[in-house]
Amino acid sequence: MKVLIIHTYYKLRGGEDSVVENEMELLRSNGIDVELLSFSNDGNTLSKLIKMPFNYGSYQKTKAKIKSFKPDLIHIHNLHFSGSAAVIYAARNTKVPVVMTLHNYRLICPSGSLYHHNKLFLSSIASGFPWKAVKEGVYQNSSLITFWVALSMYIHEQSGTWNSVDRFIVLGEHSKDLFSYSRLSAHADRMVVKPNFCYPSPNSTAVTNDSFYLYVGRLTEEKGVPVLLDAFAKSKLPLIMVGTGPLEKLVTEFTSRHPNISFLGEQKKEKVFKLLDKAAALIFPSVWYETFGMVIIEAFSKGIPVITSDLGNMKNLVTHQFNGLTFKAGNSNDLIAKVDYYQALVIEDKQNYSRNAKSTYMKNYAPERNLEQLLKIYHSAINRRSYHPL
């Protein structure tokens, strides 16, 4: 089988990029012929934004790649915004089956995250033009840019562009429910749940009562950083934070006042894995509907339990009092109460959490399981196209 992966890279590297690289490596290591067609949002951002409804350059580039590579299937990860939906039309015109992973909520809300002004924003889910999103400027706090993004998606929704996608991959059951009851409901029968995966890491060191708690991620409101800081400001337990983002100043202010909170800035993956080795648990305090949480399964791969918000897909990844704990989203008091609860457990109980975290990874998020799911989706997309030619 020959698979063409199409992905648009954001200006800042994110989890989607890691997923693309992991899946390409997984397919290649199992004898699948894979090539990548990439687009980038670097450079003249305004020009690419203007071309968002249909980037003719991306259309031509995709057609040429399909002609030279002759793939059996195209797997799209991110089109926003340099790639644009023109990529789908190039695939349609060459009659190649298409699979698309929905890493975010861009197709149903211009925010892409269903989060705005420090709270969930769900008004765009319903059918019709998302005027409220435009009024509130949910994308980059700009009504004008939000309108342009919304108009681009609305045009493709109304013109049936998404009909050319043979299978949509969603990363969790909660995301599938959201998409299935949204403006994309007509395509719900083509949505398949397949979580992300990560490659295994060696088991962590022995569980002790002296380890620190760890946060790894973007320093933003929706990631729950203020909740995390407020929680550990009420405690003497050590917290190490890794990441970068607009709330970096807030983080450094807290570290100056609370010696139990340490901030290491952005770190390479190798350093993050070493930190996970020594962590008592990973803290994942997001307050938006995360489509997934790569760092959660990376922690599980090392046998590290996770303490997370009881929101969306996160509560499906982490089973309370099994491979971690869940707390009420946005509630710093409940978060630190759960941390204190875990801290007070005897070593034997913590070791059970650790074993359960590792077994969760092996059962659901290991490469072998993911390859099986991914190939099944690919074959179903190819079969659909043969029965329902567009």
Q: Same domain for 173 and 121?
A: yes
337 falls within a domain: yes
CB 217, CB 191: distance < 8 Å: no
Which CATH number do you get for residue 25? 3.40.50.2000
Q: Is the pLDDT of residue 242 over 60?
A: yes
- Percent of the chain's residues with pLDDT above 70: 97
DSSP 119-171: EE--GGGSSS--HHHHHHTTTTT-HHHHHHHHHHHHHHHHHTGGGG-SEEEES
Q: Same domain for 333 and 232?
A: yes
Q: Same domain for 258 and 184?
A: no
Range of the domain at 340: 212-365
Q: Is the pLDDT of residue 2 over 80?
A: yes
What mean pLDDT is predicted for residues 11-32? Answer: 90
The CA distance from 330 to 314, in Å, is 14
Q: Same domain for 52 and 167?
A: yes
202 falls within a domain: no
Q: Same domain for 307 and 383?
A: no
Q: Same domain for 41 and 78?
A: yes
What mean pLDDT is predicted for residues 337-351? Answer: 97
Provide the mean pLDDT of the chain. 94
Q: Is the pLDDT of residue 204 over 60?
A: no
Q: Same domain for 289 and 163?
A: no
The CA distance from 277 to 271, in Å, is 10
Q: Same domain for 379 and 339?
A: no
Position 127 scores a pLDDT of: 81
106 falls within a domain: yes
The CA distance from 191 to 199, in Å, is 25
Q: Same domain for 33 and 159?
A: yes
pTM for the full predicted model: 0.92
Q: Same domain for 99 and 154?
A: yes
Express each pLDDT in 284-343 by its tens digit.
Answer: 999 999 999 999 999 999 999 999 999 999 999 999 999 999 999 999 999 999 999 999
Q: Same domain for 18 and 63?
A: yes
207 falls within a domain: no
Per the structure, how many domains does the chain have? 2
Q: Same domain for 67 and 131?
A: yes
Position 387 scores a pLDDT of: 63
